[in-house]
Amino acid sequence: MKLAISALIKFTVGLALVGLLLFLPAGTLSYANGWLFIGLLFLPMLLLGIVLLIRSPKLLEKRLGVKEKENTQKGVVAASGLLFIAGFAVAGLDFRFGWSEMPMWVVIVTSVVLLISYALYAEVMRENAYLSRTVEVREGQKVVDTGLYGIVRHPMYAVTVWLFLSIPVVLGSWWACLCFLPYVALIVIRIINEEKLLLAELEGYEEYKKRVRYRLLPFIW
């Protein structure tokens, strides 16, 4: 019950914060793309949270858990937060002042991409019971090399890149894309820093690197 209450509080706070960041700059609640995004993000999030609460409460607790301890990772998390705040605000202002014209078919296709990305996010969590929101190696942790981990070494980050780059398009703002694009560079920094820890502390990771060559995108990096 304590875990459920904690998860519900964080969910509600996140929903309220995103709503404020979108609709205050938009100057109206009649921002259809804003409601579309909220539905696409928070309804699957609620469903996933319920499933984790029932089937894997320990994983849910880890996903809600502690803050980063390493300075580089703290910087990445802080910078990501600023990008998202700026992106949501710009999208709202874009709607208010009519800066962008986004074709509906582009919004629909990108909405599908967002949902697929979220489904893959859930699959990565199913495959790797050691996942947490922080960069760390837990006692007894083993290398996971099956499923999506057999394609790239960091499928969670790969999925979040597609998910977050789809956000400004779903929101109908070309200008907000400029705010979200630097997220890719932040993920690259996070991965490079994380792999130093994994090589030093996770047994078998060196061999895993040889088997799975690519970190984020197959045949690219």
Q: Mean pLDDT of successive 10-residue segments in the chain (221 residues)?
A: 81 92 96 95 86 76 65 82 94 95 94 92 77 54 80 90 94 95 92 86 85 88 87
Q: Specify whether the CB–CB gap between 160 and 121 falls below 8 A.
A: yes
Task: Count the alpha carbons within 13 Å of 176 in the hemisphere toward its beta carbon.
Answer: 32
Structure confidence at residue 175 (pLDDT): 96
Structure confidence at residue 148 (pLDDT): 86
* pTM (two decimals): 0.84
Closest CA to 71 of 138, 160, 134, 155: 134
Residue recorded with tokens 């949501």: 88
Q: Specify whether the CB–CB gap between 92 and 22 falls below 8 A.
A: yes
Q: Which amino acid, residue 108?
A: I
Structure confidence at residue 139 (pLDDT): 55
Q: Helices H, strands E: what count in the chain?
A: 9, 0
Rounded-to-10 torsion of CA 8, 10, 11, 14: 160
Structure confidence at residue 138 (pLDDT): 57
Structure confidence at residue 136 (pLDDT): 52
Cα–Cα separations (whole angstroms), residue 85 to 22, 111, 165, 179 = 9, 20, 14, 9
88 Cβ contact partners less than 8 Å away, ≥ 6 residues apart: 18, 21, 22, 25, 171, 176
Cα–Cα separations (whole angstroms), residue 213 to 104, 116, 147, 162, 209 = 38, 24, 15, 20, 6
Full set of structural domains in the chain with CATH: 2-211 (1.20.120.1630)
Using only C-alpha atoms, the chain has a radius of gyration, in whole angstroms, of: 18
Distance between CA atoms of 119 and 148, rounded to whole angstroms?
12
Distance between CA atoms of 137 and 104, rounded to whole angstroms?
44
Written as six digits, the tokens of 94 are 């874009």
Structure confidence at residue 140 (pLDDT): 57
Structure confidence at residue 88 (pLDDT): 96
Structure confidence at residue 66 (pLDDT): 57
